[in-house]
Amino acid sequence: MRLLVIRHGVAGDRDEFAFTGRPDSERPLTKEGRAKMKRAAAGLGLIVDELNLVATSPEVRAVQTAEIVADAFGGMELTIVDELAPERAPDDLLPWLRSHEHDTTLAVVGHGPHVGFLVGWLLTGRHESFFEMKKGAAAMLEFEDPPAPGAARLLWALAPSHLRKLRKER
């Protein structure tokens, strides 16, 4: 299995959005965040052969990011996965990951520091946060056997600026 882990794109300011009285889960991507994510997703399309599934946290900024990624891969349908919400433990995602076929490539869109912790945990099995992902960044992991903590191999990790640059160079 290959797992593409993506942190959502640049969203509106948390404190400013709080003044709207709406919950933070409804905070959207900014116009610039959408534009940057579209360019980053185009870069992803150049280095990821195919995706079998795009899953996302239920929060608006992650859903909007996942929609952009899905569009870059031909308009795939999204799957909302509650275990990708920022308040959930990365361990909660493991049963969902294991429910998929071994020969699939999945993309998951979530939040920092949750997705960085997830990547680090899948690589080392350690419950420590040491893998940082900027907004719009992506990392590709690979598993020989069913996904397990410490069983992943890092194929690559790219900052959003690198993904955007890939698009320009081809």
Q: What is the CATH number of the domain that holds 116?
A: 3.40.50.1240
Number of domains composing the chain: 1
Residue found under tokens 């795939």: 76
pLDDT of residue 168: 65
**Segments in the chain below pLDDT 50:** none
Triad 116, 122, 118: Cα angle to 5°: 25
Rg (CA), the chain: 15
Q: What is the largest CA-CA distance in the chain?
A: 47
Residue 152 sits in which domain range? 2-169
pTM above 0.85, yes or no: yes
Backbone angles phi, psi at 168, to 5 degrees: -70, -30
Q: How far is CA 4 from CA 26, 85, 114, 158, 165, in A?
A: 24, 17, 14, 11, 19
